[in-house]
Structure 1
Amino acid sequence: MKRARKLRLAGVAVGALSLTVVTSVPLAYGHGYTTAPISRAKHCANGTVHNCGQIQWEPQSTEGPKGFPSAGPPDGKLCSAGLSQFAELDGQRGGAWPATQLSSGQSYTFRWHLTAPHSTTDFKYYITKQGWNQNAPLTRSALELTPFLTVPMNGGRPANDVSHPGTLPTRSGRHMILAVWTIADTANAFYQCSDVTF
């Protein structure tokens, strides 16, 4: 009787331990952020910008619905990928976000760091129009909705560190670049906003 009870208790303990292990292992979905030009999310993670909320611990997690610009996160919430826990990324802070200095019309290498690479449709880069409203959260009407750079992956899995050479659009003054990494085998994409000046 005692032996049967001990075996039952041991079975329960093993089952509970197995459940803990299974539920604590994260799913291996894609995650990543842009490092060139450095994104708002990465500025927060680096501590360059303060009062960022939860994004400071997970700059790789701005994941929202794919299909931009016809689908995807709502206007005004593009930088946070529509996630309320990352809403600090959507505010313009009166132009206080650090901006990467770029040269209009020149060659530039865009870079991502992927903490969990995943099967990928493509990477696309969008930029704000000349004269966009710098005091309002980013919207589709503020962006050129034809990407100035598209890097097709056709379902391939990128490396952890990705480089995309391209040519910058002709611009002057302060702008934002929206980088979109579209995952091939989920319904999501990753959205990264970078502040730049030309």
Structure 2
Amino acid sequence: MHAKRKTALAVGAMLAPVLALSLPASSASAHGYISNPPSRQAQCAAGTVSCGAITYEPQSVEGPKGLTSCSGGNSGFAELDDDSKGWAVTSVNRSQQFEWKLTARHSTSTWQYFVGGEKIAEFDDGGAQPGATVTHQVDFGNKTGQQKVLAVWNIADTANAFYACIDVNVG
């Protein structure tokens, strides 16, 4: 009986690394999103707009750096890319604060804000780890009227970023 147990333990010890390497890596289930003015995923979480899975994980819109979609390229959150979904539009000033709510605080390279594909602001954190909330003052320049802002949180130590779109009316 003792020999069988040793053999089973030895086989298990040899297979464990193979199994660990062959299983898919899991991603963390919490990260961050813009809470104010309310991003599209914040509106989903609050029930302002009827959405799918993003309702329960507004902080999880993560994808490779360099994307330009509200969903971060995640097909499970595709409704965030639908401009006709009835998103609430927030009236803002030409210079507006955007507040990120972070549920996992990753080392950060940059925070970027785009309107119509044009970068309007960038904040370089140089790899620092932010607190539970981060606020940026963003200047819209000569942009007025209804705009969709794409906000991007670029993580310093991975190839990924977090994405949020915010519908605003710049006055």
For Structure 1 versus Structure 2, the TM-score category normalised by the shorter chain is 0.7 to 0.9
Structure 1 position 144, deviation (Å): 3.9
Match of 2:58 in 1: 59
More strand by share: 2
The 5-angstrom pairing of residues 61-100 of structure 1 reads 61-67=60-66, 72=67, 78-93=69-84, 96-100=86-90
Partner SS, residue 148 of structure 1: strand
Structure 1 residue runs of 4 or more that deviate by more than 4 Å after TM superposition: 26-30
How many residues are aligned here? 159
1:108 to 84, 88, 96: 96
- Please tell me whether residue 149 in structure 1 is matched to residue 139 in structure 2: no
Give the distance between the partners of 2:117 and 2:80, measured in 1 at CA: 20
What's the TM-score, normalizing by structure 2? 0.80
Match of 1:18 in 2: none
Unaligned runs of 5+ in 1: 6-11, 13-22, 128-142
Per-residue CA deviation, residues 47-102 of structure 1 (Å, 9 max, x unaligned), is 1111x1110011111111113xxxx25xxxx01111110011111126x2101111
2:108 to 72, 95, 120: 120
8 Å contact kept, 1:29–1:118: no
Structure 1 position 166, deviation (Å): 3.0
- The CA RMSD over aligned residues, in Å, is 2.8
- Please tell me whether residue 170 in structure 1 is matched to residue 142 in structure 2: yes
Structure 1 position 120, deviation (Å): 0.7
Structure 2 counterpart of 1:41, one-letter code: Q
8 Å contact kept, 2:147–2:168: yes
8 Å contact kept, 1:30–1:183: no
Q: Percent identity?
A: 45
Partner SS, residue 43 of structure 1: helix
Structure 2 counterpart of 1:118, one-letter code: H
Match of 1:183 in 2: 155
8 Å contact kept, 2:112–2:151: yes
Give the distance between the partners of 1:34 and 1:166, measured in 2 at CA: 13
Per-residue CA deviation, residues 11-62 of structure 1 (Å, 9 max, x unaligned), is x9xxxxxxxxxx9xx7558710001221101100111111x11100111111
Change (3 A) 1:191 1:169: same
